[in-house]
Amino acid sequence: MKKPNPKNEIICLCNNVSRTTIENAIRDGANTLNKIFDTTTAGVGPCGGSCRRKLGPMLETYLTTGAFPEKIVPDMRGKK
Ligand code: FES
């Protein structure tokens, strides 16, 4: 059986934006959430941005370590 490729994981279901697309945008200089929204359309779909919980940790990890997390742990701060 074929193993799912985490790079093809869809992070933003509203706008069908893959992890690869988001990682490329961050590598290309999207160093804030707003820049990720602008360059990929992830995070600004009709659900109101539930995928931002994943975009935040991806960006933060990249900016602090220079690499993306193997597994994205959603940031649930601020969620009740
Ligand atoms: S899942 Fe990304 S904005 Fe809805």
Q: Write down all domains in the chain, each with its CATH number in brackets.
A: 9-65 (1.10.10.1100)
Categorize the per-residue pLDDT at 77 as very low, low, confident or very high, splitting at 50, 70 and 90. Answer: confident
Q: For 18-37, b where at least 16 C-beta lie within 10 A, e where not — what string?
A: bbebbbebbeeebeebeebb
Average pLDDT, integer, range 47-61: 97
**Cα dihedral across residues 22, 26, 28, 29: positive or negative:** positive
DSSP secondary structure code for residue 32 in this structure = S
Q: What is the per-residue pLDDT for 7? A: 77
30: left (phi over 0), alpha (psi -120 to 50) or beta: beta
What is the CA(67)–ligand 1 centre distance, in A?
23
The pLDDT tens digits of the residues spanning 14-45 come to 999 999 999 999 999 999 999 999 999 999 99
Per-residue model confidence (pLDDT) at position 6: 75
Which residue among 15, 22, 55 is best mutated to probe the pocket of ligand 1, counting the most ligand atoms within 8 A of its Cβ? 15
- Ligand 1 in reach of 51 Cβ (< 6 A): yes
Distance 30 CA to ligand 1 centre (A): 18
Query: Of 55, 53, 24, nearest to 37 (Cα)?
Result: 55
State in Å: Cα 42 to ligand 1 middle. Answer: 6
